[in-house]
Structure 1
Amino acid sequence: MQKMAHPKGSPLTASGKGITSGGENRAAAYKRHVIEVVLWVIGFVVLIVASIMVHSHPAPWPFDLQTTIAIQRIQYPGWLRACIAAISHLNDPVPAGITLALWFVGLAIFRKFQQAIFLGVGVTLADWIEFVLNHFVNRPRPSSPLIHVYQPEPIPSFPSGHTEHDMVYYGFLLYLSFTKPVRQWRYYRFLLPLQILAVVIMFTIGYSRILEGSHWITDALAGYLSGALLLMVLIWLYRWTTIKLAERKVKKS
Structure 2
Amino acid sequence: MKTTANALLTRIEFPVLLAGLLIAGCLWGFEELMEVARATTPHAFDTEILLAFRQAGQPGIPIGPLWLEGVMRDVTSLGSATVLVLITAATIVYLLLIRRPAPALLIFVAVAGGQLLSSLLKVGVDRPRPELVSHLVSETSLSFPSGHAMLSAVTYLTLGSLAAGFLQDRTVKAYVLVLAVLTTLLVGISRIYLGVHWPSDVLAGWCAGFAWAMLCWLAARLLQRRKGGESEIGD
TM-score interval for Structure 1 and Structure 2 normalised by the shorter chain:
0.7 to 0.9
Q: Is 1:155 aligned to 2:141, yes or no?
A: yes
- The one-character-per-residue Cα deviations of 1:58-88 (angstroms, maximum 9, x if unpaired) are 542232122112113321462x543332120
**Residue 201 of structure 1, aligned match among 183, 188, 208:** 183
Q: Is contact 1:67–1:217 with CA below 8 Å preserved after alignment?
A: yes
Residues 141 and 124 of structure 1: CA distance in aligned 2, closer, same or farther (over 3 Å): same
The answer for the alignment partner of 2:27 in structure 1 is 44
The answer for the alignment partner of 2:121 in structure 1 is 133
The answer for the alignment partner of 1:84 in structure 2 is 72
Q: Is contact 1:59–1:139 with CA below 8 Å preserved after alignment?
A: no
Residues 151 and 45 of structure 1: CA distance in aligned 2, closer, same or farther (over 3 Å): same
Residues 44 and 195 of structure 1: CA distance in aligned 2, closer, same or farther (over 3 Å): closer
Look up the equivalent residue of 1:75 and give its one-letter code: G
Q: Is 1:234 aligned to 2:223, yes or no?
A: no
Q: Is 1:217 aligned to 2:199, yes or no?
A: yes
Q: Is contact 1:158–1:219 with CA below 8 Å preserved after alignment?
A: yes
Bigger Rg, which one = 1
CA distance in 1, matches of 2:156, 2:221: 17
Q: Is contact 1:52–1:137 with CA below 8 Å preserved after alignment?
A: no
- Unpaired segments ≥5 residues, structure 2: 56-62
Look up the equivalent residue of 2:149 and give its one-letter code: T
Alpha carbon RMSD of aligned pairs, Å?
A: 3.0
Residues 98 and 247 of structure 1: CA distance in aligned 2, closer, same or farther (over 3 Å): closer
How far off its partner does 1:212 sit? 0.9
The answer for the alignment partner of 1:176 in structure 2 is 162
Q: Is contact 2:75–2:187 with CA below 8 Å preserved after alignment?
A: yes
CA distance in 2, matches of 1:34, 1:90: 31
Q: Which one has more relative contact order, counting CA pairs under 8 Å at least 6 apart?
A: 2
Query: TM-score, normalization: structure 2?
Result: 0.79
Residues 58 and 215 of structure 1: CA distance in aligned 2, closer, same or farther (over 3 Å): farther
Q: Is contact 2:29–2:204 with CA below 8 Å preserved after alignment?
A: no
Q: Is contact 2:37–2:200 with CA below 8 Å preserved after alignment?
A: no
Look up the equivalent residue of 1:64 and give its one-letter code: D
Moved more, 58-67 or 114-123: 58-67
Look up the equivalent residue of 1:88 and give its one-letter code: T
Residues 54 and 238 of structure 1: CA distance in aligned 2, closer, same or farther (over 3 Å): same
Provide the identity percentage.
23
Q: Is 1:75 aligned to 2:64, yes or no?
A: yes
How far off its partner does 1:104 sit? 1.3
Query: TM-score, normalization: structure 1?
Result: 0.74
Q: Is 1:101 aligned to 2:89, yes or no?
A: yes
